[in-house]
């Protein structure tokens, strides 16, 4: 076993503490990654605070972190994709059954038997706990690690491993491109990546936000319009305007109000996962022959495609880099929608 350490929460809602634990030895197909940066996703907060229970139980001690970039420091005998010193990334899952239709189709996040999450989960043996990226290193099968190109701003690459793929995948699935009007609801970690990626795909992007102070940023990120959703007149005027609405909102909100802004035959894709159920009236869906869809991160092949797309289009996340001692403060600010636009923990000296 490899002795290592990270930052763990020992009970829902308490502070992070330094935590010593073990990673498995590097097996023939494994790589050891020395973590450079780990992004803070709102899903980390939901789980650290046990807000998704009982749907997703929180298991403690928990070392969150599923937006991981680092350098390979050891490779197993049969590893072919990586060599010592290469950059590598890890996203939200680190293994899956490998033989169900989802795994064979490269959408391992939907593994019928349930994939092994990067943290708050177990290995596929269903016994060994997984600990995430707020830590010194990670041992992962190379099949579940991503190639990261050199020459990029690595602190801004880390959030691509969740926020990037979670927005890229539905934009691709619903074939977003030039001539289409896309709305991104919620300008946080996911939302700001959604704006950058949809704009790079050629769409005309509007940000739907509760924070009027973010308008200037929204335009700098690639949006051509900004709508304050607290302005009832503006929301009414936007009825039927968008071909696709990407909902990245982390808190309970009225889906119907957002569906009303979607055009005839249009699509609203929900990726934000509020902690409570959200009631909405069927009329807002039926009236315009609309589609209400969901999407969970992305599989390994599409995550690699997204990383290469972002490298090609010079897209990284806008980040605020923090020391591990400031994780609790970053959580509180993220919950208040006061993040511009992703907190990333510098794990190099942790």
Give me the residue whose beta carbon is nearest to ligand NAP.
188
Q: How far is the CB of 215 from ligand NAP (least distance, A)?
A: 10
Among positions 118, 137, 303, 334, the unique one binding ligand NAP when judged by CB under 6 A: 334
Among positions 115, 118, 137, 209, the unique one binding ligand NAP when judged by CB under 6 A: 209
Which span sits near ligand NAP by CB under 6 A: 24-32, 158-166, 195-203, 282-290?
A: 158-166
Among positions 124, 251, 257, 293, the unique one binding ligand NAP when judged by CB under 6 A: 251
127: left (phi over 0), alpha (psi -120 to 50) or beta: alpha
x/- mask, ligand NAP, residues 279-308, rule CB under 6 A, reads ----------------xxx-----------
Structure tokens at 135: 């830590």
Q: Distance (Å, rounded) from C-alpha 199 to C-alpha 210? A: 21
Q: How far is the CB of 267 from Zn ion (least distance, A)?
A: 22
Q: How far is the CB of 32 from ligand NAP (least distance, A)?
A: 26
Nearer to ligand NAP, 96 or 295 (CB): 295
Nearer to Zn ion, 285 or 337 (CB): 337
Among positions 4, 58, 96, 152, the unique one binding Zn ion when judged by CB under 5 A: 96
**Interaction between residue 248 and ligand NAP (CB under 6 A):** yes
């Amino acid at each position: 076993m490899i002795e290592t350490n990270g930052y763990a929460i020992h009970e829902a809602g308490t502070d992070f503490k330094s935590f010593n634990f073990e990673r498995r030895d590097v097996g023939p197909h494994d790589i050891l990654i020395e973590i450079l940066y780990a992004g803070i996703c709102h899903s980390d907060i939901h789980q650290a605070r046990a807000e998704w229970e009982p749907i997703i139980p929180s298991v403690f001690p928990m070392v969150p972190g599923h937006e991981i970039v680092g350098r390979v420091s050891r490779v197993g005998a049969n590893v072919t994709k990586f060599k010592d010193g290469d950059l590598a990334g890890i996203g939200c899952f680190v293994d899956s059954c490998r033989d169900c239709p989802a795994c064979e189709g490269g959408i391992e996040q939907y593994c019928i038997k349930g994939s092994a999450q990067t943290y708050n989960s177990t290995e596929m043996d269903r016994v060994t706990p997984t600990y995430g990226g707020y830590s010194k290193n990670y041992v992962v099968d190379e099949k579940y690690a991503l190639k990261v190109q050199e020459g990029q701003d690595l602190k801004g690459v880390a959030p691509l491993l969740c926020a990037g793929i979670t927005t890229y995948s539905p934009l691709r699935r619903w074939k977003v491109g030039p001539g289409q009007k896309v709305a991104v609801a919620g300008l946080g970690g996911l939302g700001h990546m959604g704006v950058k990626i949809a704009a790079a795909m050629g769409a005309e992007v509007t940000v739907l936000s509760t924070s009027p102070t973010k308008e200037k940023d929204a335009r700098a990120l690639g949006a051509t319009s900004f709508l304050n959703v607290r302005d009832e007149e503006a929301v009414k005027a936007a009825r039927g305007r968008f071909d696709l609405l990407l909902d990245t909102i982390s808190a309970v909100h009225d889906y119907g109000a957002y569906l009303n802004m979607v055009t005839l035959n249009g699509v609203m894709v929900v990726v934000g996962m509020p902690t409570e159920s959200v009631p909405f009236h069927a009329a807002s869906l039926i009236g315009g022959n609309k589609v209400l869809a969901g999407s969970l991160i992305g599989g390994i092949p599409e995550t690699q495609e997204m990383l290469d797309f972002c490298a090609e289009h010079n897209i990284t996340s806008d980040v605020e880099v923090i020391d591990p001692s400031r994780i609790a403060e970053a959580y509180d600010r993220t919950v208040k929608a006061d993040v511009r636009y992703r907190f990333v923990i510098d794990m190099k000296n942790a």
